[in-house]
Amino acid sequence: MNTLPAPDLPEWLLKQLPFKRYVVPVGALKMHVMEQGPADGYPVLMVHGNPTWGYLYRKVAKALSPYPLRIILPDLIGLGFSDRIRAEEHTLQNHGEWLGDLIGQLKLDKVIFVGQDWGGPIGALALSKHAEIVQGMVILNTVLGPPREGFHATTFHKFARMPLISDFVFRILGFPQVRLSAAQGDKKSISGEVARAYKFPLMGLSKNVAPLALARMVPDSLEHPSIAQLKEVAAFARSFTGPAAIVWGDKDPVLGRALSRVQGVLPNAKLTRTNAGHFLQEEVPEEIAEAVHSIWEQVK
């Protein structure tokens, strides 16, 4: 795999990242990746969503550090320290292809997939092209398929489509990354240096295109461009016969009510419900790590 040096980061942030860091060209773009564990360890691909980056999984990775696992934490294009793109380039199809390019270059012969928020469908879409390597899945607050007939968009996603005001609030005021704690069960779980770490990669108009673009990537009708790929994601999830687990944050105001939809495509997955919010990796990392460890014990 052709890797490039990772970008320099400030010391206060590096102290929170006990990982190997590198950059991988994916097409004409560059994707920032972090890793923990031995190179020959069992691969675990953890994919974040909007508006976070691989940093989101650092507590989960720490809880799994006693085990011989190769934790792989990519930053989705447009987020973290990966390359920026134009708003119209943020499509589910494109993100699936970019992540799929990384997976192909990693040359994995097996993997456990962990996905949350947009990381669920993006990761599943990418892995659907490499289905033979997927040995287990741990699904966190996300969706794995298109919405049902007659669905209603969330308040957050309705707001993201309001002309002018949404552009001002997302692009100028830095929403939602400046208010991630509002989506949590424990509001203190994202504060201080942690809150600063989420805001840092998105500071500046040239760097914060993705949060609004990804919010608008969520379907508002069954004719939305993401629907076709979400159908592919659902087909992949339904066809998966390996061990799966769902760890869910019931206090999530964005996707908390989507649990039944995820269970509909993964009916045999072991379910762990928690009082965490949307970014449950910050609140219940041990529960997520236990789910990953349980899957690994079954497939190693």
The average confidence (pLDDT) of the chain is: 97
Determine the pLDDT at residue 214. 98
For residue 15, give every residue at least 6 positions away whose Cβ sits within 8 Å of its Cβ, in sequence order, or none: none
pLDDT at 64: 98
Question: Is pLDDT at 286 greater than 90 in this prediction?
Answer: yes
Interval 176-189 mean pLDDT: 98
pLDDT at 150: 85
Query: In this prediction, what percent of the chain has a pLDDT beyond 70?
Result: 100
Would you say residue 41 has pLDDT above 90?
yes
- Could you read off the pLDDT of 145-180 as tens digits, one per residue? 999 988 888 899 999 999 999 999 999 999 999 999
For the domain spanning 11-299, the CATH number is: 3.40.50.1820
∠ CA 22-102-256, nearest 5°, is 100
Residue ranges of domains in the chain? 11-299
Per-residue pLDDT averaged across 284-291, rounded? 98
pLDDT band at 266 (very low <50, low <70, confident <90, very high): very high
Biggest CA pair distance of the chain? 51
Summarize the confidence of residues 95-123 as an average pLDDT: 98
pLDDT tens digits, residue range 190-222? 999 999 999 999 999 999 999 999 999 999 999
Spatial CB neighbours of 137, under 8 Å, sequence gap ≥ 6: 112, 113, 114, 115, 237, 240, 242, 243, 244, 245, 266, 269, 295
Q: What pLDDT is recorded for position 154?
A: 86
Q: Are 233 and 127 in contact (CB under 8 A)?
A: no
Q: Could you count the other beta carbons within 10 Å of the beta carbon of residue 299?
A: 13
pLDDT (tens digit, 9 = 90+) per residue, 11-38?
999 999 999 999 999 999 999 999 999 9
Statement: residue 127 has pLDDT above 90: yes
- Identify the pLDDT of residue 160: 96
User: What pLDDT score does 220 carry?
Assistant: 93
Cα pseudo-dihedral 200, 191, 65, 139, rounded to 10: -90
The C-alpha angle 202, 3, 124, rounded to 5 degrees, equals 65
231 pLDDT higher than 90: yes
Report the SS3 class of residue 61. Answer: helix
Residue 98 has pLDDT above 90, yes or no: yes
